[in-house]
Amino acid sequence: MPWKALPYSDRDRSKTLGEKFNVEGIPALVVLSPTCDKITSDGVEEIRAASKKALDQWSQGKRLFWSREPREGEYVWQDTTCSLCYMNPLTGSRHGCTHKECNIDLCQTCLPNNKHEHPLVEYLMPKKTYSLEALFKSVPYLLNPNNEEKIETKTMWQNDVKSVGFYFSAHWCPPCRAFTPKLAELYKTAQETSHAFRIVFVSCDRDEESFNSYRAEMPWPAVPLNSGALLKEYFRYSGE
């Protein structure tokens, strides 16, 4: 590191400072003014969001992130930052990209200024009840388990379906691979007995090859690899 450090022998001071500034995890960067007024406790997150802009704000005694009180019915997206105005937490409508490699979130105000290469979709509010049609709105189609045939998403709720399972799983996860055959057996039994039960695979695999290899082991359709982000956020799945 190109900056100074407290002596290792002065560990008590490190503990005292951590308690004073409510440091709960590392890395953490607390930024103070010359008069020791706290500018921000979110230095790490602000640098990750926009390092140069963060430095400019700190030099003026201001933090990069800002927030506002939620209006009635608005959802507060904790730990989410608007990529343009740096509202954190992002409050109200949240719009993002479903592609795994993209990292963009926009608030409703910034949405008209969007120049992202992919279309953005609105996130579903966790804990709010939606129809199956609304849940699948961000999914363009489903994939046949054994090939690239595209299946319409409406097949998941047509023909008097009584229940639908969203299966979040990944090939790299040993417990997942152990459970998948058992679930497949149950699913096949349900189809043979005309039980109106459907399953859709929402992949947490890290590459296309693993995704295709794993879904071939399943007798149900899959959400395309780059189209499951909103479903993961809605169901609060964080297993990646």
CATH of the structural domain 66-123, one choice from 3.10.450, 3.30.590, 1.20.120, 3.30.60: 3.30.60
Nearest to 143 by CA among 51, 216, 70: 216
Whole-angstrom distance between the N-terminal and C-terminal Cα of the chain? 30
DSSP for 45-82, written as a single string: HHHHHHHHHHHHHHHTT--S-B--PPPTT--EETT---
The pLDDT assigned to 240 comes to 61
Identify whether the C-beta of residue 177 lies closer than 8 Å to the C-beta of residue 142.
no
Give the Å distances, CA to CA, from 191 to 51, 198, 218, 238. Answer: 54, 9, 14, 30
The pLDDT assigned to 229 comes to 86
The pLDDT assigned to 239 comes to 62
**pTM, entire model:** 0.77
- CA geometry: angle at 210 spanning 207 and 211, to 5°? 80
Sequential pLDDT tens for the chain (240 residues): 899 998 988 888 988 999 999 999 999 999 999 999 999 999 999 999 999 999 999 999 999 999 999 999 999 999 999 999 999 999 999 999 877 778 899 999 999 998 888 889 899 998 899 999 999 988 999 999 878 899 999 988 887 788 999 999 999 999 999 999 999 999 999 888 877 889 999 999 989 999 999 999 999 999 998 888 889 989 988 666
By the 10 Å C-beta count (0-12 exposed, 13-18 middle, 19+ buried), 95 is classed as buried
The pLDDT assigned to 143 comes to 96
Q: Given this chain, do its domains 66-123 and 132-234 carry the same CATH topology?
A: no
Question: For residues 86 and 88, what is the distance between their CA atoms, to the nearest angstrom?
Answer: 6
Which amino acid type is present at position 166? F
Helix (H, G, I), strand (E, B) or coil at 220: coil
The CATH superfamily assigned to 132-234 is: Glutaredoxin (3.40.30.10)
The pLDDT assigned to 191 comes to 86
Identify whether the C-beta of residue 42 lies closer than 8 Å to the C-beta of residue 63.
yes
The pLDDT assigned to 238 comes to 65
Rg of the chain's alpha carbons, rounded to an integer?
A: 23
Which amino acid type is present at position 108? Q
The pLDDT assigned to 102 comes to 83
Sign of CA dihedral 67, 106, 168, 131: positive
The pLDDT assigned to 64 comes to 98
Domain spans of the chain, in order of start: 26-64, 66-123, 132-234
